[in-house]
Amino acid sequence: MMSTVDGRIISANWGSKNEWQDYSEVYNRIHESYNTQGWICGRVTMENDFSEGAVPELLKAPHDLVREPFIADREATSFAIAIDANGKLGWPGNELGGDHIISILTEKVSDEYLFYLQRKGISYLFGGKDEIDLAAALLQLSVHFGIKKLMLEGGGSINGAFLASGLIDELSLLLMPLADGAKDTATTFEVAPGFGKDQAVRMYLKELRRLDGDLIHLSYVFDKKDL
């Protein structure tokens, strides 16, 4: 993740795009250095930053569709994964930057939406009947797509859900020399009330680096044995 010193992750107050473009380039280099098989985001982040405003073209499915994993590209080796419980995202294609798209849904999505993903050549799996079980979804990603190492990249709510579920091994945080101070804006971790986490989660510092432009890169692990 990339955040201000006060933990904000929404870039609306960070000046013009040119002013923080250098920060984004550093972020992308760090992302690539982890050499993961895929990256995963929540619906809002995907909609705001990656879907290019596409709207699902819903048509009646030719028959009732069974709620089972659909693998559109068995040759894909890198993946962009969207957690989209209610099936709302539209897509311009079936990949993002060369990464094959996988949508994680609940079983309550419509046949019309599943048919839309099939027509687009987008893979999907089901993380639960009415709500996403993140651990079950990760297991399916491993079983059906061979994914063992995944980069979680926001937003704050999905980060918080993974945190509360104990599913994060390491945090890579690029701290920008900016103080935002905006109220009611997302931070790195946002845990929904009643989700189950009732105390702060301890982390252990793995690495600290000062980068050009007064950026700080922090790496933490969640289990001391990983140091």
- Could you check whether the bond before residue 42 is cis, i.e. omega within 30 degrees of 0? no
Neighbours of 22 (CB within 10 A): 12
Q: pLDDT at position 195, please?
A: 66
Beta-bridged to residue 41, according to DSSP, are 82
Ramachandran region, residue 109 (left: φ > 0; alpha: ψ -120 to 50; beta: rest): beta
Which pLDDT tens digit goes with each residue over 200-213? Answer: 899 999 999 999 98
Sole residue written with tokens 């920060």: 23
Percent of the chain surpassing pLDDT 70: 98
Dist CA 183 CA 212 (whole Å): 29
Dist CA 193 CA 179 (whole Å): 26
Judge if pTM exceeds 0.85.
yes
Dist CA 95 CA 192 (whole Å): 30
Q: pLDDT at position 194, please?
A: 66
Dist CA 106 CA 188 (whole Å): 25
Which pLDDT tens digit goes with each residue over 73-90? Answer: 999 999 999 999 999 999
Q: Are 58 and 169 in contact (CB under 8 A)?
A: no
Which pLDDT tens digit goes with each residue over 131-155? Answer: 999 999 999 999 999 999 999 999 9
DSSP result, 34-49: T--SEEEEEHHHHHHH
Q: What is the dihedral of CA 8, 14, 17, 19, to 10 degrees?
A: -120
Tokens, residue 195: 């989700």
Q: pLDDT at position 210, please?
A: 97
Sole residue written with tokens 């990983």: 226
Mean pLDDT of 18-22: 76
Neighbours of 169 (CB within 10 A): 12
DSSP result, 80-140: EEEE-TT-----SSSEETTEEEEEEE-TTS-HHHHHHHHHHT-EEEE--SSS--HHHHHHH
